Structure 1
């Protein structure tokens, strides 16, 4: 009687990725970088070495000013036509399917080197919704992600909703009690209501909304940073008196992680140069022109992210925009952070309410609320959930690795059931 190698569980996230497998009956996470069980889901195409860097080396290359192209939040592109468009990167024309596949192949290789075995099967986490309930891109998004795993060298690919995996990892709740997983990641927020049992968990309802940490960054950037680059200012009309507002589209894209790599085109640079010529506040539009010319979009987004984290911790925070202009900074108080994220807090509350409705449960039935996902650490998330579940116990799980733990457990159990 032989037993198959365990399946590999992979939490391929918008911002970070983790992987694990069942070892000696317990989930074992793979060190994807020295001393770290998670790896940033980032890519840098280095013009000098002609290599694709991933994870922390990719982040470092960007922040050190290396010549190349940086990408982040590619998970949000799944299900769109952009996934299959060929584009020239370094010496070849590749699709995003191929780019993500190379990232996943590196995760597979690191797991196999650490485990001393070959992983041919993968259980991947997936958001409850990639784009939205009933969105026609949902099936395409899962098909795209499956294609990425197959291109990475896996022979069998199955999926599990990410909050369901986190519920499996939650473990020690009283049998019969009802819990809610609140999984707020980089690109989506997912909810799973579950009932704990002796043999595991029973999922009562899953629901998700396309809101995550990258959306929080976008809201802060649009409210606090983009006005310094000309958002909300006016242009003189080419002919005749009067003025017209500066178009918002380019600011919206510059504040959106996954859209930044597509902004640096001659057409956009010419458009901004023309706006600068007509600007009532040329010093602001000059900053926008500089951001495009020097390809500083990701630098600005990282600055917003750092400011967000500091303000969330209650510190006197600022968004430091030195890469754009020496000494330029935007204050970001906790109150300003709350104001920028208010509509997202309302959407999270509505997402949790919809999960209750799908399960046919009242909020009072929920005994435990468990937070996972890096963006669940935002204070506005817990405030929103405490408002809806004031009597529940609220606890923070292993926010960055709970999903990978649950996937490892589920993948290992599936392997045992297939043993012969």
Structure 2
């Protein structure tokens, strides 16, 4: 008799686990009583044990000394994934950290289910990296190796939008063609499917490396980073005139996966030099404080909250930056949010059209579009979907658990 297969949705922002029980997915509370676990870790400076999920976020909020890390999935397939760095009192690779995270998920799932899992069916994006098959293959190889190191003997993968499509059994008219639009933290994935005699037939799947963390980055660069000196000028050390403030550090500070690596002495020296030559020393002082006080992740969380508020309320609000400087706020409106995200409209639209082309169906043949993933709640996504498939019904799946539920259903065939 085959052992049960654990379904794991290892996400850029959140992860989840489930098992199939009597033909139905049963989500496992791998974080207290929650269905999902933030994909985040914290390494205390005193070399204490790694904290995972909400505990990692709480350590950051409490101001504990240490290294907070999030969005590790986006590093899969890159050389950075295997590069040793000083983290939590010793040299570690991101591969070791992801392995430790998955080992934690396995342990928690086993405790909840009361059984040992040696087999895993993991979700994966259609493409970890757009238009780079070699790096894409390395990314899956990296993740497979982490699962194996975490204690799984058999590791299988299923595209995340195809997993989400499994939850549509019996939800649509027989023979109707649907489109899954899964916008996660790091990728956007699409599947065209058709329900036929109680089974889900996948007609085509496609994806691009674009997700909620990219949305956060552009919102941060447009609204927050100018308050830290982006777009400013520097006095020349020799001669007259000014030079633009380099923008690379701001891009990295606005990128979830890179924030932790800015907390280094060479970055501090760089910022000190910027301050020495700044024509707007107040703005660069804020940047210095963020780097020296390790406030980058607090900044990113504030941007994320501001993005969600502006998207949901459709009115003027502000990103609260009082933790950087008393009373500091970055205004954000639905209009300024849309303007900062406008650059993503063409690639999202093109990816949906490409999926339809691969499936050999026209937009008019799509009866329903199902939105999956936390970032699918953005107004930008809804507008692009309606532009591509104007006659389709627009439905919302459970944004954060549709993939893991579908993976659990798919374990019946593994």
TM-score of the two chains, using structure 2 as the length reference: 0.97
Q: 1:284 corresponds to which residue? A: 283
Instruction: Pick closer, same or farther for the CA change 1:112–1:372 going to 2, 3 Å.
Output: same
How far, CA to CA, are the matches of 2:106 and 2:270 in structure 1? 43
Alignment partner, residue 34 of structure 2: 36
The equivalent of 1:205 in structure 2 is 204
Pair 1:225 & 2:224 matched? yes
Residue in 1 that maps onto 2:86: 88
Equivalent position to 2:97, from 90, 99, 107:
99
Alignment partner, residue 60 of structure 1: 58
Q: Within 2, Cα distance between the matches of 1:93 and 1:237?
A: 38
CA contact (8 A) 1:369 1:393 kept: yes
How has the CA–CA distance of structure 1 residues 234 and 135 changed in structure 2, closer, same or farther, with 3 Å as cutoff? farther
Matching residue of 1:124: 122
Match of 1:153 among 147, 151, 169: 151
Contact 2:67 2:88 in 1 (8 A): no
Q: Quick check: 1:46 aligned with 2:44?
A: yes
CA contact (8 A) 2:321 2:327 kept: yes
What is aligned with 1:341?
341
Which residue of the partner structure matches residue 256 of structure 1?
255
Name the counterpart of 1:18.
16
Task: Give a deviation string over 1:133-163, Cα, whole Å, max 9, x none.
Answer: 3342111000000011001100000100000
Identify which range, 192-201 or 15-24, moves more after superposition: 192-201
Q: Is the 8 A contact 1:50 1:91 kept in 2?
A: no
Contact 1:6 1:412 in 2 (8 A): no
SS in 2 for 1:313: helix
Q: Aligned-pair RMSD on alpha carbons? A: 1.1
Offset at 1:323? 1.5
In the TM superposition, structure 1's runs of 4+ consecutive aligned residues that sit over 4 Å from their partners are none
Q: 2:50 aligns to what SS in structure 1?
A: strand
Report which stretch shifted further, 177-186 or 26-35. 26-35
* Paired position in structure 2 for 1:417: none
Aligned residues: 412
**Runs (5+) with no aligned partner, structure 1:** 415-420
Q: CA deviation at 1:93?
A: 2.3
What's 1:274 paired with?
A: 273
If the length of structure 1 is used for normalisation, what is the TM-score? Answer: 0.96
- How many Å separate the matches in 1 of 2:88 and 2:197? 54
More contact order relative to length (CA 8 Å, sep ≥ 6): 1
Cα distance in 2 for partners of 1:47, 1:134 equals: 37
Deviation at 1:261, TM superposition (A): 0.9
SS in 1 for 2:173: coil
Partner residue of 2:185?
186
Distance 1:297 1:135 in 2: 32
User: Does the 8 Å contact 2:164/2:405 carry over to 1?
Assistant: yes
1:305 aligned onto 2:304: yes
